[in-house]
Amino acid sequence: MANMQMGQIGGQPVLILPEGTFRQQGKGAQGQNIAAAKAVADAVRSTLGPKGMDKMLVDSIGDIVITNDGVTILEEMEIEHPAAKMMVEVAKTQAEEVGDGTTTSVVIAGELLKKAGELLDQAIHPTVITRGFRLARDEALKILNEISIPVGLADTAVLKQIAITSMSGKSMEKASPLLADIVVEAVKTVAIQTNGHVEVDTSDIKREKKHGGSAEETELVRGIVLDKDVVHPAMAKKVSEAKIALVDAALEIKETETDAQIRITSPDQMQAFVEQEQRMLKNMVDKVIASGANVLFSQKGIDDMAQHYLSKKGILAARRVKQSDMEALSKATGGRIVTNLDDLSANDLGYAKTVEEEKVGGETARIRRPSPSSFAAAPSTSSTRSTAASRTRSERSHRPWKSARSCTAQARPKLKWRCA
């Protein structure tokens, strides 16, 4: 199939197709579409259920993916047929809306198309078949509503069972009880109840993975996790009562936008040039110091000399922090991201009880903020948001459970940073 242009000559339609394309219509096209969709369903059928088998997928450059997750398999497959692509969209929609059941949805869709093909062979019109499918859908939803059981945030045992079920057949199945506890706790931490309705912002849950550990080493971190290094070895490893500056500006000498040359003819001129650069960097650091900050996160670079000045003042700093992490820090600590150091003031600083550096898996930097006992008391009444995160160190994980934010305004939780 291909894009085509249509015109008319003498009242008759004329199709202009690109070279090498073909056109099908009628029963032939229906049969081809159904066959393509069934082929996609058959490709993932063997991965279904607790005894489902994994698939090894090798792409054109030799990268290998081993998984039994339906949507992952379909995304890795190079599918060109339009009807087959619709089956991939079915799996993607199921993954986005539910997070599980992608293989089941594709297999069911394949079976429905198979039965539709049999009805087409009996000369039943497609509109009649689709009307029957809609009636069956309505009846199925009616039955599901009758047999369903309401589940709320207080039903911890049921929520854990749901999480364990979604992990069945996956590589972390052995650790599913532990992971289920982490998943449920993370979701309950970020959940907000409004007029009896529960809302969960999945962007408040982050997963940080590191190779080399096992799924049993997964833990829930009620804080922000950053995979970044402290910029200077002489910087403090722990900062209490942290006042955090979030800066989207470089603490570096800016290069000119136009070509320029500086001619230096004597050692004195060279020394003056170097000293001027140092003064400029020190002025930048002085602006951070003047704000009262003792922790600095920069979305851009920090010059080596600026790192030295920061370390001398006892300021812990990290550079080139991702924008998503900066936004999470802002949301969790109450700080404001500043794009110009001249505008940085005490009102822009975020707060955390403690910031600490610690090695995790030999290379991860992480900020951790354990919540107090009052943390989960009434997240719906809170105007401040904190963070809970979990770190998964297994090599493969398919579920989006992993870091969370929520808090009360009464108590400021502890913030901890671990890094390599």
For the stretch 227-238, pLDDT in tens is 888 888 888 888
State how far the Cα of 98 lies from the Cα of 100, in Å rounded to an integer: 6
User: pLDDT-derived band of residue 211, with 50, 70 and 90 as boundaries?
Assistant: confident
Please give the DSSP secondary-structure letter assigned to residue 407.
-
Asked if residue 332 lies in contact with residue 243, where contact means CB atoms within 8 angstroms, the answer is no
Q: What domains can you pick out in the chain, each with its CATH number?
A: 16-147 (1.10.560.10), 238-254+264-418 (3.50.7.10)
User: pLDDT-derived band of residue 371, with 50, 70 and 90 as boundaries?
Assistant: very low
Give Cα separations from 83 to 1, 31, 70, 131 (angstroms).
11, 11, 17, 20
pLDDT of residue 142: 95
pLDDT of residue 136: 94
Please give the DSSP secondary-structure letter assigned to residue 204.
G
| Residue 154 pLDDT exceeds 70 | yes
Mean of pLDDT values over 144-149: 92
Residue with tokens 């320029």: 260
pLDDT of residue 132: 94
- Cβ contacts of residue 378 below 8 Å, gap of 6+? 408
Amino acid at 226: L
pLDDT of residue 401: 33
User: pLDDT-derived band of residue 169, with 50, 70 and 90 as boundaries?
Assistant: low
Bigger pLDDT: 178 or 237? 178
Average pLDDT, the chain: 77
The percentage of the chain sitting over the pLDDT mark of 70, rounded to a whole number, equals: 77
pLDDT of residue 24: 65
- Which range has the worst mean pLDDT, 15-19, 42-46, 195-199? 15-19
pLDDT of residue 97: 85
Mean of pLDDT values over 129-153: 92
User: pLDDT-derived band of residue 144, with 50, 70 and 90 as boundaries?
Assistant: very high
For the stretch 68-105, pLDDT in tens is 778 788 888 878 888 888 888 888 888 888 877 888 89
Q: Phi and psi at residue 311, in whole multiples of 5°?
A: -65, -35
State how far the Cα of 418 lies from the Cα of 322, in Å rounded to an integer: 17
State how far the Cα of 186 lies from the Cα of 163, in Å rounded to an integer: 12
Bigger pLDDT: 15 or 309? 309
User: pLDDT-derived band of residue 324, with 50, 70 and 90 as boundaries?
Assistant: confident
Give Cα separations from 107 to 37, 70, 100, 239 (angstroms).
10, 10, 14, 54
| Residue 13 pLDDT exceeds 70 | no
State how far the Cα of 353 lies from the Cα of 228, in Å rounded to an integer: 20
| Residue 381 pLDDT exceeds 80 | no
For the stretch 391-406, pLDDT in tens is 333 333 333 333 333 3
User: pLDDT-derived band of residue 221, with 50, 70 and 90 as boundaries?
Assistant: confident
- Which range has the worst mean pLDDT, 226-235, 336-345, 359-368? 359-368
Q: Which residues of 205-225 are buried (b: 16+ CB within 10 A; e: fewer)?
A: bbbbbbeebebeebebbbbbb
Compute the half-sphere exposure of residue 59: CA atoms within 13 Å on the CB side of its CA.
Answer: 12
The percentage of the chain sitting over the pLDDT mark of 90, rounded to a whole number, equals: 18
Mean of pLDDT values over 184-209: 85
| Residue 387 pLDDT exceeds 50 | no
Q: What is the pTM of this model?
A: 0.62
